[in-house]
Amino acid sequence: MCGIIAYVGPKDATPVLMEGLARLEYRGYDSAGMAVVGTGGLKVRKAKGRVRDLAEGLPRRFKGSPGIGHTRWATHGAPSDVNAHPHLDGSGQVAVVHNGIIENAAVLRSRLERQGVQLVSETDSEVLAHLVALADGADLEESVAVALAHVEGTYGVAVLDQRQPDRVLVACNGSPLVLGVGEHEMLAASDVAALVRHTRQVVHLDDGEMAVLTADGYRTSTLDRRPTSKRPMLVEERAEAYAKDGHPHYLHKEILEQPAVVSRTLSGRLDERFHTAHLGGLGLEARDVAALRRVKILGCGSAYYAGMLGAGMIESLARIPADAEPASEYRYRNPVVEADTLYVAVSQSGETFDTIAAVRELKRKGARVLGVVNVVGSTVARECDGGIYLHAGPEVSVASTKTFTATAVAFGLLALFLARIRDLGPADGKRIVDGLRALPGQIDEALGVDRDVAAVATTYAERQSILFVGRVRGYPVALEGAQKLKEISYVHAEAYPASELKHGPLALVGPEVPTVAVVPDDHLLDKNLSTIAEITARGGPVIAVGHRRELPGATCVWTVPKNEPELDPVLLGLPLQLFAYHLAAALGRDIDRPRNLAKSVTVE
């Protein structure tokens, strides 16, 4: 969703901002803009469309420092030049970029209009520029603090005032902002992706905090101007991690790098002596685990489906009742929060609004919440009591693939850890440790079907609809397979438990509607073969993913290596990622930036 980049220092801010905006593109946006303080004051340029459209329209003399830039994902007001950020106050002295939603924007707009202010855009954000200018504080800090006191809602903001050309002011509440500490220069961004080319020393602002950035450093305080103390931390990601490395799309790169990703997720976490997992960040004592009655996992979209896989692993290995639920629904049903339940929030970005809201609701009710998170220092990571980092590296493509797999692996570790404190014996513990250790190599082997999958995907590219079915452990795999396909190819896809087929969706089956069936070689194999027979009897083509080279009735089978039954879903999902990718490629879709979607859904 929207992205922010800000710079203050001796360099010309324009190329720094432009490069930062390009780094933020993956989040999803529909317009972009920037403002710098140059000789002669504030200069602003904004444009509907891509960052390259903005770059093409920039005059040569567009130079200066400090500067702020923005990619906008429209919420209030259509994508247009005028609705793009930065927004200015009436005198053109103050420029503001804003992420989030100002909930009382309508009230603030009418109040400003009554004071004679002319608003030029349809956005909620523009009010901020006018409020800052009208606040007329002793310095920019005071003006921003006074302005934000009127605001209800969520914001990450960066503010310039041409009368104070040595600084940028940033503040946040419910929308992330990270400071980048450079050599005699400071940056800020909504996402470390926009910073790592310049510095890996970062400071995460907390909600209700603001910071004054100058070339010499930063000063943080609460919004009521009580100083806070924040030390920089080193981020793992290097700028090279954002390169495409010769792949046509980030998605392809991210699918194929999964062996290395899973090695990192597992690194240092397998305990060969006691056949368990080392998960130091959980902060759970054996006595806490012994007292657990339930595990509840919350996440949105693919994170929710990965949570379903995790619940299955925990239930079967640790024999603790476990389930997953969409985090986006959770807080609205006034959930019963139990003291002996372990809650786990799953989020690649750690910034998904609905997941954060679920965590906050749980914390308010006294729950213990763990996070399974990729982005280090993100809001979910900071607000949980402990957790597991995925160490998957930055995921640039909007659709998640490597972090889905890494999350499933992290749940394998968590399930093993819980299970070895509960009833799982050392022999079974060793079986799972060995299974986890084998995963990177097996993932590499499983991805060897890339070319076969590409050929099949091209054959089915023109179909209107594709069904996905799986049983028990295979069902979340089917859900995620369908999710990937619809997200990036825009082909309608639906997933069902295979056992439900006869209860409704079988009516859809016929020669025009292919079914992708998840058919592992397990105790449900015969039942899955019956499902395939039911489909083929009605003329429906079946593409199967499983362990056998051939399955009766299936038009084609993508085979993956066999691991332990609890971990098999990690491998079974891989050909389905490739299927979605190649089918979308055959249709010429914008694979890394599918329409209407954003990488990090920071609003409700």
Q: How far is CA 157 from CA 69, 209, 238, 544, in A?
A: 11, 11, 25, 49
- Rounded CA-CA distance 55/539 in Å is 53
- Residue 507's CB is within 10 A of a number of other CB atoms, namely 9
Q: What share of the chain is helix, strand, coil (3-state, %, to 5)?
A: 40, 25, 40
- Rounded CA-CA distance 414/130 in Å is 50
Nearest C-alpha neighbor of 372 from the set 348, 392, 356: 348
* End-to-end Cα, the chain, rounded Å: 11
For the CB of residue 581, give the shortest distance to ligand F6R in the complex, in Å: 12
Q: Residue 7 or residue 579: which is nearer to ligand F6R going by CB?
A: 579
Residue ranges binding ligand F6R (CB under 6 A) = 300-303, 347-349, 352, 355, 399-400, 483, 487, 600-601
Q: Render 519-583 in DSSP notation, one character per residue.
A: E-SSTTHHHHHHHHHHHHTTT--EEEEESSS--TT-SEEEE-----TTTHHHHHTHHHHHHHHHH
Helix (H) or strand (E) holding 201: strand 201-204
Number of helices (H), then strands (E), belonging to the chain: the values are: 19, 27
Nearest C-alpha neighbor of 187 from the set 199, 171, 204, 176: 199
Q: Residue 405 or residue 442: which is nearer to ligand F6R going by CB?
A: 405
Helix (H) or strand (E) holding 104: none
Q: Is the peptide bond before 86 cis (omega within 30 degrees of 0)?
A: yes
For the CB of residue 35, give the shortest distance to ligand F6R in the complex, in Å: 29
Q: What does DSSP assign to residue 547?
A: S
CA angle 417, 423, 424 (to 5 degrees): 60
For the CB of residue 601, give the shortest distance to ligand F6R in the complex, in Å: 5
β-pairing, 515-519 with 542-546?
parallel
CA angle 472, 475, 479 (to 5 degrees): 165
Q: How far is CA 65 from CA 33, 177, 187, 572, in A?
A: 15, 20, 11, 51
Q: Residue 123 or residue 483: which is nearer to ligand F6R going by CB?
A: 483
- CA torsion sign for 579, 585, 587, 591 is positive
- CA torsion sign for 439, 440, 443, 448 is negative
Q: Residue 501 or residue 601: which is nearer to ligand F6R going by CB?
A: 601
Q: Residue 28 or residue 33: which is nearer to ligand F6R going by CB?
A: 28
Number of residue whose CB is nearest ligand F6R: 301
For the CB of residue 361, give the shortest distance to ligand F6R in the complex, in Å: 16
Q: Residue 66 or residue 301: which is nearer to ligand F6R going by CB?
A: 301
Active-site option among 2, 172, 300, 384? 2
Q: Residue 204's beta-bridge partner residues?
A: 178
- What is the total residue count of the chain? 604
Q: Residue 217 or residue 377: which is nearer to ligand F6R going by CB?
A: 377
For the CB of residue 375, give the shortest distance to ligand F6R in the complex, in Å: 8
CA angle 299, 301, 307 (to 5 degrees): 45
Helix (H) or strand (E) holding 300: none
Q: Residue 162 or residue 349: which is nearer to ligand F6R going by CB?
A: 349
Q: Residue 400 or residue 489: which is nearer to ligand F6R going by CB?
A: 400
Catalytic (active site) residue 253: no
- Rounded CA-CA distance 563/408 in Å is 14
- Rounded CA-CA distance 552/531 in Å is 11
- Rounded CA-CA distance 125/99 in Å is 8
- Rounded CA-CA distance 506/525 in Å is 19
Q: Residue 190 or residue 531: which is nearer to ligand F6R going by CB?
A: 190
Q: Is the peptide bond before 79 cis (omega within 30 degrees of 0)?
A: no
For the CB of residue 590, give the shortest distance to ligand F6R in the complex, in Å: 14
CB 187 within 8 A of CB 168: no
Q: Residue 318 or residue 399: which is nearer to ligand F6R going by CB?
A: 399
Q: Locate 68 and state its tokens.
A: 């702020």
Catalytic (active site) residue 599: yes
Active-site option among 253, 296, 486, 599? 599
For the CB of residue 381, give the shortest distance to ligand F6R in the complex, in Å: 11
For the CB of residue 397, give the shortest distance to ligand F6R in the complex, in Å: 9
Q: Locate 341 and state its tokens.
A: 């339940």
Q: Active-site residues: which are they?
A: 2, 599
